[in-house]
Amino acid sequence: MQTDVKPTLYPSRIDLPAETRTQVVSLLNQTLADTLDLYTQVKQAHWNVKGLNFYQLHELFDTIAGEVAEYVDMVAERVTALGGLARGTARIAAQDSNLPEYPLDILDGKAHVIALAERLALYGKAVRDAIEETGSLGDADTADLYTEISRTIDKRLWFLDAHLQG
């Protein structure tokens, strides 16, 4: 199966140079792969968590998944607004994601919290790096999109970390 599609930039009246849009689209497509992967990993935890804190964690994981799903759409739509092609299939996400594979052998709530916290921390760092990169490219709108994502991811990481403290 061929997934390496030559980047195509469709016409856009957005006043960013084509080279800038091409670079930002590439970065956004990487984020799209990571975000889709993160979504499925959070759902994996949501479906399989067990233990005394089951209900609380089940609900927290579902909330996080819902927020991440919104970011999938926001990122993909920004790709297309810039004239790019959103690369958003599950197969592409699995191939291109920078996140580690989610462990399938855990059930305990604490183990899920640790696994998700590790992934949200990696994702959050990539998002903060993207804020800097898109800002330096002169795309304040995409940098703002990344800033919105970063705030939520940091908040959810705080919630997960709080479960591991004390």
DSSP per position, 2-50: ---PPP-------SS-HHHHHHHHHHHHHHHHHHHHHHHHHHHHHHH-B
- The pTM of this model reads 0.94
The pLDDT value recorded for residue 6 is 58
Q: Read off the tokens for 122.
A: 């990696």
pLDDT at residue 49 greater than cutoff 70: yes
What is the number of domains present in the chain?
1
Q: Which domain holds residue 45?
A: 18-164
Asked if residue 23 is part of any domain, the answer here is yes
Asked if residue 133 is part of any domain, the answer here is yes
The pLDDT value recorded for residue 7 is 58
Percent of residues, the chain, with pLDDT higher than 70:
96
Q: Read off the tokens for 50.
A: 């067990």
Q: What is the mean pLDDT of residues 100-114?
A: 96
Asked if residue 126 is part of any domain, the answer here is yes
Name every residue whose Cβ is closer than 8 Å to that of residue 8 and which is 6 or more positions away in sequence. 84, 85
The pLDDT value recorded for residue 95 is 96
Asked if residue 7 is part of any domain, the answer here is no
Confidence class of residue 1 from pLDDT cuts 50, 70 and 90?
very low
Asked if residue 6 is part of any domain, the answer here is no
CATH number at residue 117: 1.20.1260.10
The pLDDT value recorded for residue 166 is 76
